[in-house]
Structure 1
Amino acid sequence: MTDDESEAIDAFERLGLTSYEAKVFIALHRLGSGTARDVASVTDVPRSQVYSVAESLEDRGLLEVQQSSPIRYRPVSIDEAEDTLRNRFERERERAFEFVDSVKEESTTEETQEDIWTVRSRDRVDDRVVDLLSQADEEIVFGTRLPELVTSEIERTLEDRAADGVPVTVISRNETVRDRLGALEGITTAIPPAHRDDDQRSGRIMIADDDNILLSVVGDDGSETAIWSAGSLFASVLIQLIEASTAAPESEATEP
């Protein structure tokens, strides 16, 4: 068996076929059509197993059976097989996630409101920031010292929320960050109070309304890790502490 064939069999297994089903299906396409003896001669599936495997493939809609003596098998076309497997995958996907969604809804009333979550990797932190910003409808505070942590999607979300009437304040000691986001209509920028000059670890801070918060740090290798909490007492108390410590920043209100 070649490496390519082995990889194809592995791929079919990931699509839901057994190893024998994948081998028989490939063998029949190599032959065009054939008997159990023919299939066994070009693959390592025992002849005695070909019959049951072929029956399973027929049930899946991947081959046709000719009731002759001996019985002959013919695979459906590649396009038809691809459509069959795609449709089956979609049905299974819908069935699986519908169940997960129903379980999630059932457990909603039992979930604790004191959850503190950890998110690792910059892409996932990006996604979480955007998600929390999108839910804000009262107030947003976003801060970072690093321009690269302001993605285009975060920028667009901040602009959209400001356009919807949500007060948005961007806090940063980095002039590039303030200039970039301050140029957006409806967004106010501010410089935070004096802080440690040797800060090389802080990443982002995001406050949405009065009970959603995200704080991140950046590792020496550039990786980012964040903690976030939404709708919890922890988030509310931490936000109050942060707001108290930054009550009088050196503001730079940006004209629309």
Structure 2
Amino acid sequence: MTDGGEAEAVEALQRLGLSKYEAAVFVALERLGTGTARDVDRMTDVPRSQVYGAAENLEERGLVEVQQSSPIQYRAVPLAEARETLAERFEREQDRAFEYLEEVRRGADHEDEHQEGVWTVHGRDNVASRVRQIVADAEETVLYASGPELLDEGIAAALRERAEATDVWVCSARVDDPELVEAFADSAVTLAPFPDDPTDDAAGRLLAVDGDTVLLSVLGGEELPGVRAETAIWSADTGIATVLLELLRGHIVDDTEIEL
């Protein structure tokens, strides 16, 4: 039988491409050092008849070594080697999958990449990922506004990088905040005042790009202890995006040098 930690390891190895039996046998051999099918059978829920096949598959994957003795002895390769083997395999499978998906996407008829509508993104990590992608695709202008808790290093880095080729403004009610100033020191990012504090109540973040794309988020209850949940809506090349951008222009652009 397996304990909680071992069960989690088996599940993690399955997510890396091993079957349930292969993962269980590999973990058992790591604990044993060297063992026979009988030894593995005693330590796991894997039937002895299945241990042989799983061990052979692991050998083919480069994760187990076999000694042709009587009885046959199995030994897991060193962990560093196993980690590298699984990482390379995962990368190959990832490349294979996305190469196919790119071919499929190129072959599909996407007349309008930005369909009319508003898209919803749930979860702070997912919202941050969408923000970074939209910023990375910017061609002319980027305006970003949020409280300090939502301006992580990943987004700050994306804004700094994009500022090398486009106009990037980061708006805040506290443009002289030392952390904000430090985050964009020695970069082409322009800090601009925001008339309202975006951290008040449920307000989250705001992103406007190239005069045709806008993202707005709100904060809710706790997603994790001390971390508020976030939900965003975003739209591009739509009537809704146009209306939101016009409201934004009237709210913060008129009295600044920002051009959206």
Question: Does the CA contact (< 8 Å) of 1:159 and 1:185 recur in 2?
Answer: yes
Structure-2 separation of matches of 1:118 and 1:233: 16
Alignment match, 1:104: 105
Cα distance, 1:27 vs structure 2: 5.4
Alignment match, 1:189: 192
- The residue matched to 1:177 in structure 2 has which SS? coil
Alignment match, 1:126: 128
Cα distance, 1:97 vs structure 2: 2.6
Cα distance, 1:31 vs structure 2: 7.0
Q: Normalised by the size of structure 2, how large is the TM-score?
A: 0.67
Cα distance, 1:227 vs structure 2: 1.0
2:72 maps to amino acid: R
Question: Does the CA contact (< 8 Å) of 2:114 and 2:236 recur in 1?
Answer: no
Question: Does the CA contact (< 8 Å) of 1:178 and 1:190 recur in 2?
Answer: no
Bigger radius of gyration among the two = 1
Alignment match, 2:175: 177
| 1:130-180 Cα shifts (integer Å, max 9, x gaps) | 332333333333344x3444445545554555554x4445555x2x13665
Question: Does the CA contact (< 8 Å) of 1:27 and 1:39 recur in 2?
Answer: yes
Alignment match, 1:231: 237
Q: 1:190 to 1:107 in 2, by over 3 A?
A: same
Q: 1:60 to 1:178 in 2, by over 3 A?
A: closer
**Percent identity of paired positions between Structure 1 and Structure 2:** 43
Structure-2 separation of matches of 1:185 and 1:15: 41
Structure-2 separation of matches of 1:99 and 1:191: 44
Q: 1:232 to 1:93 in 2, by over 3 A?
A: same
Q: 1:131 to 1:82 in 2, by over 3 A?
A: closer
Question: Does the CA contact (< 8 Å) of 2:114 and 2:237 recur in 1?
Answer: no
Q: 1:103 to 1:203 in 2, by over 3 A?
A: same
Structure-2 separation of matches of 1:208 and 1:95: 32
| 1:193-240 Cα shifts (integer Å, max 9, x gaps) | xx8xxx633333222111111112233654332211223343234323
Q: Normalised by the size of structure 1, how large is the TM-score?
A: 0.68
Unaligned 5+ segments in structure 2 are 223-227
Cα distance, 1:45 vs structure 2: 4.2
Structure-2 separation of matches of 1:40 and 1:133: 53
Q: After TM superposition, list the pairs within 5 Å mapping 1:75-90 onto structure 2.
A: 75=75, 77-79=77-79, 80-90=81-91
Unaligned 5+ segments in structure 1 are none
Aligned length: 241
- The residue matched to 1:126 in structure 2 has which SS? helix
Q: 1:163 to 1:82 in 2, by over 3 A?
A: closer
Q: After TM superposition, list the pairs within 5 Å mapping 1:194-213 onto structure 2.
A: 200-213=201-214
2:190 maps to amino acid: I
Q: After TM superposition, list the pairs within 5 Å mapping 1:157-172 onto structure 2.
A: 157-164=158-165, 166-169=166-169, 171-172=171-172
- How large is the RMSD of aligned CA atoms in angstroms? 4.1
